[in-house]
Structure 1
Amino acid sequence: MSPVSSPTIRWGILATGRIAHSFASDLALVEGNELVAVGSRSTDSARQFSEQYFTPERAVHAHGDYADLAADPDVDVVYVASPHGRHEADAMLCLEAGKAVLCEKPLTLDTSSSGHLIEEAHRRGLFFAEAMWMRANPNIRAAVAMAHDGACGRIAQVRAELGMVADPDVDRMWEPALGASALLDVGIYPLTFAHLVLGEPDAVVAAGTMHERGFDVSGGAVLTYPGGAVADVAWTQVAHSDNRASIAGDVGRIEIAPRFHEGRSFTLASGGSVHEFADPVTGRGYAHEIAEVAACLRAGSTTSDVLPPDGTLAVMRVMDEIRSQLGVSYT
């Protein structure tokens, strides 16, 4: 795609749920980016959202239809914030309108549909990425880089778990039609962390607990890798986990404080000493992926090294395997 020549990257947000509000709040913190439009299936919801993020410099266009948002000529890139059961259709709508897209995680419900979106964006020459904001977190990036540089020695074990008690009023967590799954909503974080450190596994063994409506609410998996490394990951939407992550080798151990996917600090224990590291995190943490997308658009890049499509598909393949072992199906 051609580089975006305007001094400001102009964003549209598709859907007006909680994550959209968090994203909009962080967007206001990133210089050279601004919210110019929002789309909802409800005109009233779009109008209320636009009024909340109105600034004296620019009004936010309120569209009561996703197609109208996708067609808005003032929008450079759309952040898709709908429930993940809708991601494939909503992201495709934006791509067909010629818009760059940052789509909230998980990209879709399975590898096949994720690959289809990625291929379509490539065919059209449009920027496209999954909004796995943890990948852009400066402390996560620093901890992984430190491990790859040998700070822990030969890496033998990665551990990561994430859990919380899901709000019963958050439909996407409990409604199968919206893609309800603790694995897709929560487990994707520890699995992505393991992938950042160790890459794609040779084998996966998983188990979990199912809701009466046919989706998983808790689970865990052991992943094994070439060379003998092991990752132990767990996730839940029905319990308050300790939300920690670690990378351990034959020289030392990196530990990321809870909640690890937000990455506010980490420690390296090696040689009898413990050193703490902490890079500033802007806002809730979404600002870093916003800045990355903006840099790609200005450079004319259709993919991001920080939010790579290959990484999205690799994690999705693991989640497909885990879903198969748990017996979760969306067909």
Structure 2
Amino acid sequence: MGVDRVRWGIVATGNISTSFTRDLKLLADDAEVTAVASRSQTSADRFAAEFGIEQGYGDYRRMIDSGTVDVIYIGTPHPQHYAIARAALQAGVAVLCEKPVTLTAEQARDLIAVATEHKTLFAEAMWMRTNPVIQAFFKELDSGVIGEPQQVVADFAFYKPSLPTRLLDPALGGGSLMDGGIYPMTFAYMALGRPAELKAVGSLNDDGIDLNVAMAWRHDSGAVAALTCGLRSQNPWVASVSGPEGSLQLPHRFHHPEYYVRSTAAGAERIDVPVHGLGYHYEATAVMQALRDGRTEVPSLPHASTLEILELLDETRSQIGVRYPGDDDDLSG
């Protein structure tokens, strides 16, 4: 990959794809959106017209095979991620796929294997990891300012009188875990690593959709985490890590914050970190740097973390009784 602008293809035309594409405009010197694909040619054409994209496709395979994109961003509902990402990786087209990249750890393991085999970059779009505030937060945590972390608390629950249909559809990977719970889980994982023990309880509706979930993690270090997600309450969406010397706290919308707070014996101090745009361009920048470096993995979006979080999601779902399409698939052949 030379110094030319990276050519992006956008798969799906919903809210998340709109936000991502809008942020790519901030990277105009480095990035160019050359194509968009949707299940509907009309939607693709409308999106292309809105963003000045040259080519719209009513079929993602045609875009992958067009030779006009270096990397695709996948913003479809969760169950469609796997097949689209696999097709792109097999064609040698790099992939940034919305989280969770797949519904099961088994599917994610397969995608990582395909990416490795075809020497093609693959990354999960866990944008929280690439946020400058989050990165500064964990750099300070690693410095030992609060001592060894002992407790993590994080929540991500929201309520709307009329929820998007996909959130209540098991066939679409509905429920609170995949859309919301993945954030507290990723935060705790970044702070403490993989837990030695996980316990979860959940309230499910008649369709088997998780509406309220609480998770408790225990680590070999002695640290614990208390994590919640749901679709029935307006939560503060805050997160914190505490140790013997104090705590570091992230405010409302902790997954893309503008500052954090350090509380120690010296008092509480707000730490502001410059951020701009909607926050999606940080992950796009990381992907493009990895592409130019000839990597198959983005350092700030590591495959091992993607896989371990999905294994923890699998275990959590198993404990609370949530099942998705693909749970019984054997991909080992």
Relative to the length of structure 1, the TM-score reads 0.95
2:278 is matched with: 284
User: Is residue 95–residue 123 contact of structure 2 (8 Å, CA) maintained in 1?
Assistant: yes
1:23 is matched with: 20
- Say yes or no: does 1:14 pair with 2:11: yes
User: Is residue 159–residue 232 contact of structure 1 (8 Å, CA) maintained in 2?
Assistant: yes
- In the alignment, the residues of structure 1 paired with residue 108 and residue 285 of structure 2 have an alpha-carbon distance, to the nearest angstrom, of 23
User: Is residue 185–residue 227 contact of structure 2 (8 Å, CA) maintained in 1?
Assistant: yes
Residue 166 (structure 1) shift: 4.6
Residue 19 (structure 1) shift: 0.6
Q: 1:326 aligns with which of 306, 320, 329?
A: 320
2:115 is matched with: 121
1:270 is matched with: 264
1:189 is matched with: 183
Residues 194-209 of structure 1 aligned to structure 2 (within 5 Å) = 194-209=188-203
- In the alignment, the residues of structure 2 paired with residue 136 and residue 299 of structure 1 have an alpha-carbon distance, to the nearest angstrom, of 18
Letter in 2 for 1:10: R
Number of equivalences: 324
Residues 161-176 of structure 1 aligned to structure 2 (within 5 Å) = 161-166=155-160, 168=162, 170-176=164-170
2:82 is matched with: 88
- In the alignment, the residues of structure 2 paired with residue 292 and residue 167 of structure 1 have an alpha-carbon distance, to the nearest angstrom, of 37
Q: 1:51 aligns with which of 49, 54, 61?
A: 49
- In the alignment, the residues of structure 2 paired with residue 235 and residue 301 of structure 1 have an alpha-carbon distance, to the nearest angstrom, of 34
Q: Percent identity?
A: 37
Residue 194 (structure 1) shift: 0.3
Partner-residue secondary structure (3-state), 2:255: helix
User: Is residue 135–residue 141 contact of structure 1 (8 Å, CA) maintained in 2?
Assistant: yes
Residue 6 (structure 1) shift: 4.4
Q: What is the RMSD of the two structures over their aligned residues, measured on CA atoms? A: 1.2
- Say yes or no: does 1:156 pair with 2:156: no
Residue 304 (structure 1) shift: 1.1
User: Is residue 203–residue 212 contact of structure 2 (8 Å, CA) maintained in 1?
Assistant: yes
User: Is residue 171–residue 178 contact of structure 1 (8 Å, CA) maintained in 2?
Assistant: no
- In the alignment, the residues of structure 1 paired with residue 152 and residue 72 of structure 2 have an alpha-carbon distance, to the nearest angstrom, of 34
Q: What stretches of structure 1 of length at least 5 have no aligned partner? A: none
User: Is residue 129–residue 309 contact of structure 1 (8 Å, CA) maintained in 2?
Assistant: yes
- In the alignment, the residues of structure 2 paired with residue 97 and residue 253 of structure 1 have an alpha-carbon distance, to the nearest angstrom, of 47
Letter in 1 for 2:24: L
- Say yes or no: does 1:103 pair with 2:97: yes
Residue 308 (structure 1) shift: 0.4
Letter in 2 for 1:49: F
Residues 243-262 of structure 1 aligned to structure 2 (within 5 Å) = 243-262=237-256
Q: 1:138 aligns with which of 132, 137, 146?
A: 132
Q: What stretches of structure 2 of length at least 5 have no aligned partner? A: 326-333
Residue 149 (structure 1) shift: 1.2
User: Is residue 170–residue 323 contact of structure 2 (8 Å, CA) maintained in 1?
Assistant: no
Q: Deviations along 1:89-144, whole A, 9 cap, x unmatched?
A: 11112112220000000011111011111111111000001000001011111111
1:40 is matched with: 38
Per the alignment, do residues 153 and 206 of structure 1 end up closer, same or farther by CA in structure 2, a change over 3 Å counting?
Answer: same
Which moved further from structure 2: 164-173 or 147-156?
A: 164-173
Letter in 2 for 1:135: R
- In the alignment, the residues of structure 1 paired with residue 275 and residue 320 of structure 2 have an alpha-carbon distance, to the nearest angstrom, of 36
Letter in 2 for 1:18: N
Which moved further from structure 2: 89-98 or 181-190?
A: 89-98
Partner-residue secondary structure (3-state), 2:114: helix
Partner-residue secondary structure (3-state), 2:191: helix
Residue 27 (structure 1) shift: 0.8
User: Is residue 168–residue 174 contact of structure 1 (8 Å, CA) maintained in 2?
Assistant: no
Which moved further from structure 2: 277-286 or 41-50?
A: 277-286
Segments ≥4 residues shifted beyond 3 Å = 166-169
Letter in 1 for 2:138: V
